[in-house]
Amino acid sequence: MLQERIEQIMKEGRESLATVSTAADFEAWETRYLGRKSELNEILKGLKDLSPEEKRLIGPLGNRVKQELAAAFAVAKETIFERNIDWEAERIDVTAPGHPIVPCGHLHPVTLIEHRIQDIFLSMGFSIADGPEAESEWYNFDALNFPKDHPARDMQDTFFIRQEKKSQHRFVPRTHTSGVQVRYMEAHKPPFRVIVPGRVFRNEATDASHEHTFHQFECFMVAEEGMVTVATFKHVAETFFSAFFNEKVSVRLRPSFFPFTEPSFEFDISCVLCGAQGCPTCKQTGWLEIGGAGMINQHVFESAGYRRGQYQGFAWGFGVTRLALMKYRISDIRLLMSGDLRFIRQFQQ
C-alpha cells in the first residue's frame, strides 16, 4: 500500500514538474514534494512505526524517490529560467552593424593623398625614402648647388633654427624634400628610382594657395649615363598623374631654373577639372601648374660622392597639398591645417 503510494508520488511529481512555468508554481511544487510537511516526508518520518520488514522496503524506496525528485527539481530549476525567456524579444542579430561607443579617428585628407601617391609609385617599382624635417643647410642648400649668399636661397623663403652653440652647419626646417636626394645617393649606388614624401616649411605670406607648412613629394630616378632622359621623366609623370586622377593626363614642360637641375623645368598637367577646356582654376589655359623638375645637376652627384658624368637622372618635386586641393576640389589650402574638425570630418571613410 505505502509502496504504491510512494511510486504514485514519484510519477505525479515528475509529471507536474514538467508543466511548471512560473517562479510561484515552482516554489509550490518544491513545498509539495520536497518540503518538510510534504507527503513523502511524512511517510519517511513515520518509518519508526513500521514493522522491520516494511522498514526494509519503504525506507530505501522513500529515500530513493526523494533523491530522484530532488535531482529532477535541480535540473528543472536550471532550465526554468530558460523556459521563461521570450526568445523572439531576446534574438540577437549578429549581422547588425555595431554602435560606435568610442569615437574613432580617421586619416587626414593629406595623408589619404600621400597613401594614394605611394601606392601608385610602389606599383611602378619605386622605393620610398625619408629624411629629417630639421635639415642642415648643407643638405637643404649647399649640396644642391645653391651658391653661398646667392639670391637663389631666397627662392625658398627659409626659416632658420636658433642655435645655442655655434656649429659648422646651421639647421633649417627643410624648405623642400630635395635634400633627401643627396642623403639617398650617399647611401645607395644607382640604378634606383625613389620617392620622398615629406612636410616642408617656408617663411611665406599665406593665401588661398600658399601655406607656411605643406607637404611635398620628391621623385628621382638615376642610372648610368644615357639611360634616364627627359622623355623618361615625361612618361613617368604622365603615367603617375593619369593613375592618380583616373583619366588620361598630359604633362607639358616649360623652361625654368633650379640650382640642382640642368636643364630645369616647371611642369604643368592638363586641367583635370575642365578636361583641358579652360576654367577659372586653370585660368582658362587648360593647364595646371604642378611642380618643378629637371635633369639632376652633376654638382649634386659630386656632392653625394659620385664621379662627374658617370650617372644621369631626373628629379621632380610637387606639392601634395595642392594635389589634395584639386582632388577634393577644396578652395582654400589653409583649411587643411586649420584643425577645424567640421572640415576634417568630411573625409571620414
Q: Is 193 in the site for ligand FA5 (CB under 6 A)?
A: no
Q: How many C-beta atoms lie closer than 10 Å to residue 207's C-beta?
A: 10
The residue count for binding ligand FA5 (CB under 6 A) is 23
Closer residue to ligand FA5 (CB): 29 or 318: 318
Which residues share a beta bridge with 207? 210
Q: CB of residue 200 vs ligand FA5: minimum separation in angstroms?
A: 7
Q: Is 292 in the site for ligand FA5 (CB under 6 A)?
A: yes
Within 8 A by CB and 6+ apart from 214, the residues are 199, 200, 202, 319, 320, 321, 322, 333
Task: Determine the Cα angle at 338 with ends 217 and 215, to 5°.
Answer: 5
Interface residue with ligand FA5 among 38, 145, 158, 216 (CB under 6 A) is 216
Closer residue to ligand FA5 (CB): 22 or 229: 229
Question: Which segment (2-10, 41-49, 297-305, 315-323) binds ligand FA5 by CB under 6 A?
Answer: 315-323
The position carrying cell 632658420 is 160
Contacts (CB under 6 A) with ligand FA5, residues 253-272: 258, 261
Name the strand (E) or helix (H) holding 114: helix 109-123
Interface residue with ligand FA5 among 153, 174, 176, 234 (CB under 6 A) is 176
Contacts (CB under 6 A) with ligand FA5, residues 27-56: none
Q: Are 314 and 227 in contact (CB under 8 A)?
A: no
Distance (Å, whole) CA 32 – CA 337 = 78
Q: Is 303 in the site for ligand FA5 (CB under 6 A)?
A: no
Q: CB of residue 168 vs ligand FA5: minimum separation in angstroms?
A: 24
Q: Is 114 in the site for ligand FA5 (CB under 6 A)?
A: no
Q: CB of residue 289 vs ligand FA5: minimum separation in angstroms?
A: 6
Closer residue to ligand FA5 (CB): 17 or 288: 288
Q: Is 139 in the site for ligand FA5 (CB under 6 A)?
A: no
Closer residue to ligand FA5 (CB): 121 or 258: 258
Q: Are 69 and 34 in contact (CB under 8 A)?
A: yes
Q: Are 180 and 143 in contact (CB under 8 A)?
A: no
Distance (Å, whole) CA 236 – CA 234 = 6
Q: CB of residue 145 vs ligand FA5: minimum separation in angstroms?
A: 11
Q: Are 264 and 270 in contact (CB under 8 A)?
A: no
Closer residue to ligand FA5 (CB): 13 or 291: 291
Q: CB of residue 303 vs ligand FA5: minimum separation in angstroms?
A: 14
Burial of 179 (0-12, 13-18, 19+ CB in 10 A): buried
Closer residue to ligand FA5 (CB): 29 or 260: 260
Q: Is 316 in the site for ligand FA5 (CB under 6 A)?
A: yes
Tell me the three cell numbers of residue 181: 636626394
Tell me the three cell numbers of residue 241: 598623374
Distance (Å, whole) CA 129 – CA 133 = 13
Residue 144 has φ and ψ, to the nearest 5°, of -95, 15
Which residues share a beta bridge with 197? 217
Name the strand (E) or helix (H) holding 13: helix 2-17
The residue whose Cβ lies closest to ligand FA5 is 319
Distance (Å, whole) CA 295 – CA 222 = 10
Q: CB of residue 343 vs ligand FA5: minimum separation in angstroms?
A: 17
Q: Is 291 in the site for ligand FA5 (CB under 6 A)?
A: yes
Q: Tell me which residues touch ligand FA5 (CB under 6 A).
A: 176, 178, 202, 204, 210-211, 214, 216, 218, 258, 261, 291-294, 315-319, 321-322, 333
